[in-house]
Amino acid sequence: MAQASLQHKNAHNNTARLGDRFDAFLRRSETASGYALLSPTMIVMILGLGAPLLLLIAYSFWTQLPPEQGIGVDTTPTFDRYAQVFSEPIYVDVFWRTMAISGLVTAFTVALGYPMAYYVAFHVQRYKFVWLILLTIPFWTSYLLRAFAWKIILGFNGVINSGLLSLGLITQPLEFLLYSPTAVVLTLSHAYAAFAILPIYVSLEKIDRSLLEASADLGDGPWASFWRVTLPLSMPGVIAAAVLIFVPVAGDYVTPSLVGGPEGQMIGTLIQVQFLRVGDWPFGAALALSAMAGVAILVILFTAATRLATRSIR
Amino acid sequence: MSQKGADKAVSITSRLSYGLAAFALLYLIFLYGPLFFLPLFAFNDSTFIAFPLKGFTTKWFEAALSDEEMLTALWNSIKVGVVAATAATALGLLAAKAITRYDFAGRGAVTGFIMLPLFVPEIMLGIALLVLLNQIGIPLSLYSVVIAHVILCTPFAISVLTSRLEGFDRSLEEASMDLGEGPWMTFWRVTFPLVMPGIVSSFLLCFIVSFDDFLISFFVTGTEQTLPVYIWSQLRFPRKLPGVLAMGAMILLASCVLVVLAEWVRRIGVDDKPNVGV
């Protein structure tokens, strides 16, 4: 939005200064130069991102040939794969379970990340960058290892069980810790925690401090000030963080495989199995695209609802 | 506001400040605590990952560093990471320059498309690439992993480099042109040195993203495995676990060092005005 308004302003100035025809020429040449410089990246992304996604869409309308007819697909277009996805309750059930898990993980990470980002933005005076680096390091470290750490912690002979046993607090290992949806939510909340901090921090840091002073001068206490000024102004960061966490979590298959057990499997696990074990790629493609469409709809609804709610506070 | 009200507000604020500081500390423990179990058990003299600890040993590190397969996987990951990070940073630099320098029609849409890998679950990128590579008959190898990682890393490179280029004073380039340098020499002698910290930072971060990636690599890896894919295949064997933990601990440490380095380099000269000896 900021970019659009900036473009608009530039366009307006140019028109006023240089006249319409020259402006049109300038814009055309800017466009040409821009695309010339952008073309290598564009070509790579079209070949490596656009083409694969289009082919995946095409695949979802095809049919896998049975093994006895050789390896390959029948490319007659059909909606059968989608019908299959929606007719078998397991896929719909696992989709909703995945959404519930992703929603909980998003809620936890944002709720925990917000005060943390708030602390760094408003209360840390010196060595702010040390805090920021400390909070970003986990973002970049191996996701596989972060998830695996929890298997060590929650396992049958894991840190918690063996720790409690050796302290004599329990006599039998607690079995519910590992291989459950709870374990999945816990592991993912930890693995994605760092994703929440930065977007929220950036939006908090942008808030004009004089607005808070004005709110205090006009008689708002700290809580009212937070509720009516800080929180609404930081909502773009909260929404960004939520989307940044919800979407990748919805597609995850590592954590459910490591700590999920049969009750904690997510849609990503089923997609992965279709592609790497069952080998029915058209069905896998239809499953993946349906799930992604579902995720996209939920994200759009969530964003719209959050915006509306924010407006009503103000 | 009355004096009493102001005092009350101040005391609430300072209490809040202590509360937040305590919370921040707990948060850091939550963030880093679980990771400490990797090195802890990597130094534990037992095949079982369980308390009580048996004693200090470095034999698992020796086992990891003499495991031929693991070292091959490590070397594969380093090769892939270097190539992918170099390509992604080069592509990212061109794109970031185009996005920040030129105001062109459709910039928002094109940028959105290029940044798409940040907003699509990695499993989608993995299966889509697998399908395409299969369709055009490219066998899965380290090359296919490189392609996947370039797609994954380029958006990261662009966001690091865009923030660097946005604070860039374009009059420096104009001055160079006025003084008779051509566009290439201007790029080489003015733009490049000023953007250099961004380039180094982008390279390091892309390397880490590539080196640590499992979610996409799993789909496009052939017989030559990268380290995360190898580690995944070893998690099923309890006997191998301590060696994997030792390697994991070393990777975590190396990642931390690289991230700190990348962040430190990225901040060079960001706050003060670009200072070039003219």
Nearest CA among B28, B144, B163 for reference residue B92:
B163
Count Cβ atoms below 10 Å from residue A314 Cβ, excluding itself.
10
How wide is the angle at C-alpha B130 spanned by C-alphas B125 and B131, nearest 5°? 100
Which two tokens mark A1?
A: 């939005």
Nearest by CB to B37, from A149, A217, A253: name it. A149
CA distance linking residue A200 with residue A118, whole number of Å:
8
Same-domain check for residues B100 and B236 = yes
Q: Phi first, then psi: what are they for B184, rounded to 5°?
A: -70, -45
Is the pLDDT at B278 greater than 70? The verdict is no
Distance of CA A301 to the CA centre of its chain: 15
Q: Is B135 within 8 Å of A268 when comparing Cβ atoms? A: no
| Same domain? B152 vs B262 | yes
User: Three-class SS string for A251-308?
Assistant: CCCHHHHHHHCHHHCCHHHHHHHHHHHHCCHHHHHHHHHHHHHHHHHHHHHHHHHHHH
How close does chain A come to B276, measured CA to CA in Å?
25
Q: Do B193 and A233 touch, CB atoms closer than 8 A?
A: no
Q: Could you give the 3-state DSSP secondary structure of residue A54?
A: helix
Same domain flag for B140 and B5: no
Model confidence pLDDT, tens digit, residues A243-286: 999 999 999 999 999 998 888 899 999 999 999 988 899 999 99
Q: Is B34 close to A250, i.e. CB distance below 8 A? A: no
Beta strands in chain A (DSSP E): 63-64, 73-74
What pLDDT score was predicted for residue B17? 82
Q: Are the Cβ atoms of B23 and A116 closer than 8 angstroms?
A: yes
CA distance B133 to chain A (A): 8
Alpha-carbon distance A193 to A138, whole Å? 8
Q: How many domains does chain B have?
A: 2
Report the gap between the CA of B277 and the closest CA in chain A (Å).
28
Question: How far B219 CA lies from chain A's nearest CA (Å)?
Answer: 8
Other beta carbons less than 10 A from residue B21's beta carbon: 13
Evaluate the CA torsion angle A116, A122, A124, A128 in order and state its sign. Answer: positive
Contact (CB<8Å) A34/B102: yes
DSSP states along B73-134: HHHHHHHHHHHHHHHHHHHHHHHHHHHHH---TTHHHHHHHHTGGGTS-HHHHHHHHHHHHH
What is the per-residue pLDDT for B274? 36
pLDDT for the residue numbered B63: 87
Looking at the structure, tell me whether residues B27 and B150 fall in a common domain. no
Nearest CA of chain A to the CA of B134: how many Å? Answer: 10
Nearest residue of B to residue A222 by CA position?
Answer: B9
CB contact under 8 A, A27 and B105: yes
> Is residue B277 classed as helix, strand or coil in its secondary structure?
coil
**Chain B residues with CB inside 8 Å of A221's CB?**
9, 12
- The string of pLDDT tens digits covering residues B173-193 is 888 888 888 778 887 888 888
Residues in chain B: 278
Closest residue by Cα to residue B222 from B133, B112, B152: B133
**Residue percentage of chain A with pLDDT more than 90:** 45
CA-wise closest residue to B202 among B95, B64, B72, B100: B95
With tokens 């990128």, the residue in question is: B125
Flag if B124 and A35 touch (Cβ within 8 Å).
no
Nearest-Cα distance to chain B for A149, in Å, is 6
| Nearest by CB: B41 against A7, A123, A152 | A152
Q: Are residues B165 and B222 in the same domain?
A: yes
pLDDT for A25:
61
CATH 1.10.110.30 fits A86-313, yes or no: no
Q: Of A33, A37, A247, which has the smallest distance from its Cβ to B94's Cβ?
A: A37
Question: Which among A42, A146, A253 has the least Cβ separation from residue B123?
Answer: A253
Per the structure, the complete domain to which residue B154 belongs is given by: 59-266
Q: How far apart are CA A86 and CA A89, in angstroms?
A: 7
- In chain A, where are the structural domains located? 10-40, 86-313
Shortest CA distance to B77 belongs to which of B258, B216, B210?
B210
Give yes or no: residues B177 and B212 share one domain: yes
Distance of residue B147 Cα from the nearest chain A Cα, in angstroms? 7
Question: Residue B118's closest chain A neighbor by CA?
Answer: A244
> B1 to chain A: nearest residue by CA?
A219
A56: chain B residues, CB-CB within 8 Å: 124, 127-128, 131
- d(Cα B152, Cα B122) in Å, to the nearest integer? 8
Per CB-CB distance under 8 Å, the chain B contacts of A3 are 107-108
Which residue in chain B is spatially nearest to A243 when comparing CA positions?
B119
Most confident listed range (B1-10, B225-234, B264-273): B225-234
- B145 and B173 fall within a common domain: yes
Q: What is the mean pLDDT of residues B35-44?
A: 88
- Among B11, B31, B225, the strongest candidate for a mutation testing the A interface, having the largest count of A CBs within 10 A, is B31
Q: Inspect the interface and report whether the beta carbons of B124 and A292 lie closer than 8 Å.
A: yes
Q: Is the peptide bond before B52 cis (omega within 30 degrees of 0)?
A: yes
Instruction: Indicate the length of chain A as a whole number.
Output: 314
- By Cβ distance, the residue of A119, A150, A217 closest to B21 is A119
Cβ distance B129 to A52 less than 8 Å, yes or no, reads yes
pLDDT at A1: 43
Count the neighbouring beta carbons within 10 Å of the beta carbon of residue A144. 26
- Measured between beta carbons, the chain B residues lying within 8 angstroms of A44 are 91, 150-151, 154
Q: Are residues B15 and B116 in the same domain?
A: no
Mean pLDDT by 10 residues, chain A (314 residues): 50 53 63 86 95 96 79 84 93 95 96 94 86 85 87 84 85 82 93 89 90 84 84 92 93 92 92 91 95 95 91 74
Write the residue in B50, B113, B209 that is nearest to A157 by C-beta.
Answer: B50
Task: Judge: B212–A140 Cβ closer than 8 Å, yes or no.
Answer: yes
Phi, psi of A74 (to 5 degrees): -90, 120
Q: Count CB atoms within 10 A of the CB of residue B169.
A: 12
DSSP 3-state assignment of B44?
strand
- CB-based contact B260 A133, cutoff 8 Å: yes
pLDDT confidence of residue B273: 37
SS (H, E, C) B217-267: HHHHCCCCCCHHHHHHHHCCCHHHHHHHHHHHHHHHHHHHHHHHHHHHHHC
Cβ contacts (< 8 Å) between B125 and chain A: which residues?
Answer: 49, 52
Neighbours of B250 (CB within 10 A): 17
Cβ-based neighbours of A28, under 8 Å, separated by 6 or more = none
Statement to judge: residues B180 and B119 lie in one domain: yes
Q: Report yes or no on B276 lying in a domain.
A: no
pLDDT digits (tens, 9 = 90+) for A171-216: 888 877 788 899 999 999 998 988 889 899 999 998 888 888 888 8
Count chain A–chain B contacts defined by CB atoms under 8 A. Answer: 258
CB contact under 8 A, A275 and B219: yes
Mean pLDDT of B18-45: 90
Is residue B149 within 8 A of residue B216, CB to CB? The reply is yes
pLDDT of the residue at A249:
94
Cβ contacts of A59 on chain B, cutoff 8 Å: 131
B140 close to B222: Cβ distance less than 8 angstroms: yes
Please give the Cα distance from A105 to A246 (Å, whole number). 8
Task: Please list, in sequence order, all residues whose beta carbon lies within 8 angstroms of the beta carbon of residue A52, skipping any fewer than 6 positions away.
Answer: B125, B128, B129, B131, B132
Helix boundaries (H) for B167-226: 170-178, 183-186, 192-212, 217-220
* CB spacing of B103 vs A30 below 8 angstroms: yes
Least confident of A241-245, B47-51, B221-225: B47-51
* A275 contacts in chain B (CB < 8 Å): 127, 130, 219
Judging by DSSP bridges, how do beta strands A63-64 and A73-74 pair with one another? antiparallel
**At B129, which CATH number?**
1.10.3720.10
